[in-house]
Amino acid sequence: MNILVTGCFGFIGNNYLLYLNKHFPNEFNIYGVDSLLTNTSEINYENFKDTKNFNFYKEDINDTESFSNIKIDTIVNFAAESHVDNSITNPNKFIKTNVLGTNQLLQLAYKNNISNFVHISTDEVYGSKKTDYSNEDDILNPSSPYSATKASAEMLCNAFKKTYGMNIKICRPANNYGVYQQPEKLIPYTISNLLNGGNIELYGDGKNVRHWLHVEDTCSAVMKVLNAEENSGIYNIGSGEYFNNLEVAIKILKAMEFDDSRITFVEDRPGHDFRYAVNFEPLKNLGFIPSKTFDEEISHIVNWYKNNENWWKKDYLNVLNNRLERTKLN
């Protein structure tokens, strides 16, 4: 199978390449697309560029011309701007990548008769659920510019399904965690900050709940969806593990042998959703079973960041410089 993986050197995309290489080394000819805008993505590329059956295009997904004539069977679209704080500061950037970029890829797929298009969305499109669980047929209710652009991309996918008869499958994964996650996100930023003498910073009272999903389980789920016989389905991806941010902070402190004096509470983020929680029974019906647990993985993740400072340090310093303006519209 010839597969195009966009955003291939971001967090989930890079782990997906590693997953394909590990579990299906001879089954895919992989074409990767990434704009390589961060130091971490550049390092990911250097680590993967000599891999057999891999061809790379350094491109923005809004510029599809250089890879428009590749013979492709499947597109898996991981490419996205994904950090909520950054979307508050610069929503235009998120609209360009998440909405306009998805539109370009959908047109590419239609014009080249690509039979399978898997779009990676997010559970954040549902908005906050205080008590119950989000199902795939729920009305979308995004709260941030980030989740609004992901919901918009989904609407485009739905339009291309109906107008052009395309087979487009949508995945809505819960909060991913694991290695190779950029230092702007909660877990890697927390670990990096502690390693550099700083404290954990939690918004508000730290009680916002997230559904935590290991990135390798996300990769496994995407493969289940890709191979599903049903055309144009929508699938939540979850693990059944729910922790609030304070609980996550305490687990990290324990793994790093620090006490809770290293926790600082800061002003809450505007529009901060209280709880995400998805029902993922349709995915279970495809045979998906999450294999990772947070408590078993967090020490491994901490040790990975301790041993790979050269991977994250430059981008971490950029995050530090930008954090003071992270909740203000530029």
pLDDT 10s digits, 279-311: 999 999 999 999 999 999 999 999 999 999 999
Which entry of 85, 123, 184, 273 is annotated as an active-site residue? 123
pTM: 0.96
Does position 68 have pLDDT exceeding 80, yes or no?
A: yes
- The pLDDT value given to residue 121: 98
Q: Is pLDDT at 327 greater than 80 in this prediction? A: no
* pLDDT at res. 323: 74
146 is known as an active-site residue = yes
326 pLDDT band, cuts 50/70/90, is low
Give me the torsion for CA of 56, 59, 60, 65, rounded to 10°: -110
Is residue 260 part of the annotated active site? The answer reads no
Residue 330 pLDDT > 60, yes or no? no
pLDDT by residue (tens digit) across 69-116? Answer: 999 999 999 999 998 999 999 999 999 999 999 999 999 999 999 989
- Rounded CA gap, 113 and 97, in Å? 23
| Topology, domain 2-180+213-241+272-292 | Rossmann fold (3.40.50)
- How high is the pLDDT of residue 329? 66
**Would you list the domain boundaries of the chain?**
2-180+213-241+272-292
Annotated active-site residue 124? The verdict is yes
Q: Which of 16, 19, 31, 146 is labelled catalytic?
A: 146
What rounded mean pLDDT belongs to the chain?
96
9-58 pLDDT per residue, tens: 999 999 999 999 999 998 999 999 999 999 999 999 999 999 989 999 99
Q: Which of 81, 124, 184, 297 is catalytic?
A: 124
pLDDT per residue as tens digits for the range 163-174: 999 999 999 999
